[in-house]
Amino acid sequence: MTMRRLLLVAMLGSATVLALGRTASAEVKVAGRPDAVHLDVHDASLHDVLAALQERFNLRYRSADALEAQVTGVFDGPLRRVVARLLSGHDYAMQVTADSIDVLVLASQGPGATVVAAVTPASAARPPLTAAERKHYDSGHLR
């Protein structure tokens, strides 16, 4: 019986050290304004990244998923595009208004999944096109 307890204590200690080691190396740095976000992420969960954006900006997100996928990278651009890049590989819905973004993360997409539709109400005000988008639109590729 004492051997089992000793083994249990050793396993719990190892798990604690691993969890603390992973948390200590995770880092999320958020800077900028909603129209020009700079996000620098190193080994943080998607949940932690979205929580940091929620604290800094008028972003609200909900999910039934734990959002434990690890994220590393530098993301620059308008908040809505940064969030869209972060959620690449997930099924989600995003409502963008003039002063807020509301995101519902449905699930992680499986391999080979494709986007079926993106719906924007006709009455929604669209943000202005970037220079690259304008060039693409003028050449007839973006409708």
Residue 141: the pLDDT is: 58
Residue 134: the pLDDT is: 72
> Three-class SS of residue 107?
strand
Q: Is the pTM of this model over 0.75?
A: no
Token output for 42: 């190193």
**pLDDT surpassing 70 at residue 50:** yes
Query: CA 130 to CA 132: how far, in whole Å?
Result: 5
Query: CA 129 to CA 138: how far, in whole Å?
Result: 11
Please state whether 108 falls in left (phi above 0), alpha (psi between -120 and 50) or beta.
Answer: beta
Q: Rounded mean pLDDT of 118-123?
A: 47
Q: Of the given ranges (29-43, 73-87, 123-137), which has the lowest mean pLDDT?
A: 123-137
Higher pLDDT, 75 or 129: 75
Higher pLDDT, 2 or 37: 37
Query: CA 25 to CA 140: how far, in whole Å?
Result: 46
Residue-wise pLDDT tens digits, 53-78 = 999 999 999 988 888 889 999 999 99
Query: CA 33 to CA 49: how far, in whole Å?
Result: 16
Q: Which helix (H) or strand (E) holds 18?
A: helix 2-25
Token output for 75: 């993301």
